Amino acid sequence: MLIEENASLRRLNTFGIDATARYFARFETAQQLEEILSTQKTSYPLPLTSTLILGGGSNILFTKNFNGLLLKNEITGIVNVGEDNEYVYLRVGGGVNWHQFVLYCIDKGLAGVENLSLIPGCCGASPIQNIGAYGVEIKDLFHELEAFHLEEKTILRFNTNDCAFGYRESVFKNKFKGQFAILSVTYKLRKQPVFHTSYGAIQQELEKAGVTELSIKAISDAVIRIRQSKLPDPAVVGNAGSFFKNPTVSGEKFPELKSKYPNIPGYPQPDGTTKLAAGWLIEQCGWKGFREGDAGVHPLQALVLVNYGNAQGEQIFQLSSRILQSVQEKFGVELEREVNLV
């Protein structure tokens, strides 16, 4: 079991930020995680708040070097743990690449994740963020997860209610932030698909491809093409996908905005609020395609902040702050960062 000192994190975060971790280790089992934490207490004394779990590094921005113990989750495995008339239940290691899991399900004819194709990151992070795209969220196919409590060194199970899912939210981003490592996630995949094609440009993409018979693979392929056409590949241009959440405004606020900005897109929510498109708001403020040094806003998608090579995390952060301020000043709408800041 190797604990590295002053380890480079550049290849471990999709922004490609050249930060370091004071201590770094990888774990493939809960036992290894427990051993590392026990060793850390005696050999590398640091407060528990200085322990950070890393998956695919696709939703994190290092604004400085991490002066603590960073642990990379590399737990693998996909196991069928049961089925009923409607679902097959798959328990997936927290370190399994998300898109590889999606492709696995499609290959097995299991439905539910096809709309979430090509989202970067690992399965362990999927419930933390309640990842979602094109009308589907993790909470729609989540069954339960196993999590390791970093301080008590116990393994707990969380069901859907325990996770308190919200829009890009869960209990692990709030009440239990930084307290657990997700060991595995059990998803329920449909034996018979329920297609979701009305959100975004999926239907148009299917028609463009000449698809006459719907299938989970056809939808997955369409989503992949859409994402590739709009979003930069982190292997080419450093980024963490959508940097900001889509904000919601009150039922009173949206008509005011609509009267002033007739083209503003709005999506009514069940609670009476209206969800806005953060990318549209940012673009109207003139940020789309903006670049300052190696920090910038992607020219095809204003939601995506990018590192063109050697930008520092603090530069990306400061750019995001300027964007937040300009949207607030122009529209009176407060944006929230989706990416985790370290």
Per-residue pLDDT of the chain (342 residues; tens, 9 = 90+): 688 999 999 999 999 999 999 999 999 999 999 999 888 666 666 655 588 999 989 899 999 999 989 999 999 999 999 999 999 999 999 999 999 999 999 999 999 999 999 999 999 999 999 999 898 999 999 999 999 999 999 999 999 999 999 988 999 998 999 999 999 999 999 999 999 888 768 888 998 888 888 999 999 999 999 999 888 888 899 999 899 999 999 988 999 999 999 999 998 988 899 999 999 999 999 999 999 999 999 999 999 999 999 999 999 999 999 999 999 999 999 999 999 999
SS3 readout for the chain: CCCEEEEECHHHCCCCCCCEEEEEEEECCHHHHHHHHHHHHHHCCCCHHHEEEECCCCCEECCCCEEEEEEEECCCCEEEEEECCCEEEEEEECCCEHHHHHHHHHHCCCECCHHHCCCCCEHHHHHHHCCEECCEEHHHCEEEEEEEECCCCCEEEEEHHHHCCECCECHHHCCCCCCEEEEEEEEEEECCCCCCCCCCCHHHHHHHCCCCCCCHHHHHHHHHHHHHHHCCCCCCCEEEEECECCCEECCCHHHHHHHHCCCCCEEECCCCCEEECHHHHHHHCCCCCCEECCEEECCCCCCEEEECCCCCHHHHHHHHHHHHHHHHHHHCCCCCECCEEC
Which residue, 179, 168, 191, 314, is CA-closest to 244?
A: 168
How confident is the model at residue 49, as a pLDDT?
56
Going from the N-terminus, what domains does the chain have, and what CATH number goes with each? Answer: 4-73 (3.30.43.10), 78-190 (3.30.465.10), 238-341 (3.90.78.10)
- Alpha carbon distance 132, 119 (integer Å): 9
How confident is the model at residue 301, as a pLDDT?
92
- Alpha carbon distance 73, 29 (integer Å): 9
How confident is the model at residue 44, as a pLDDT?
66
How confident is the model at residue 243, as a pLDDT?
95
How confident is the model at residue 204, as a pLDDT?
87
Q: Which of 137, 144, 205, 338 is catalytic?
A: 338
Annotation says 338 is catalytic: yes
Which residue, 22, 71, 66, 26, is CA-closest to 44?
A: 22
How confident is the model at residue 266, as a pLDDT?
92
* Straight-line distance from the first to the last Cα atom of the chain, in angstroms, rounded to the nearest whole number: 25
Token code pair at residue 212: 């006459």
How confident is the model at residue 47, as a pLDDT?
58
Annotation says 168 is catalytic: yes
Q: Which of 117, 126, 184, 242 is catalytic?
A: 242
Q: Which of 114, 117, 126, 168 is catalytic?
A: 168
Annotation says 11 is catalytic: no
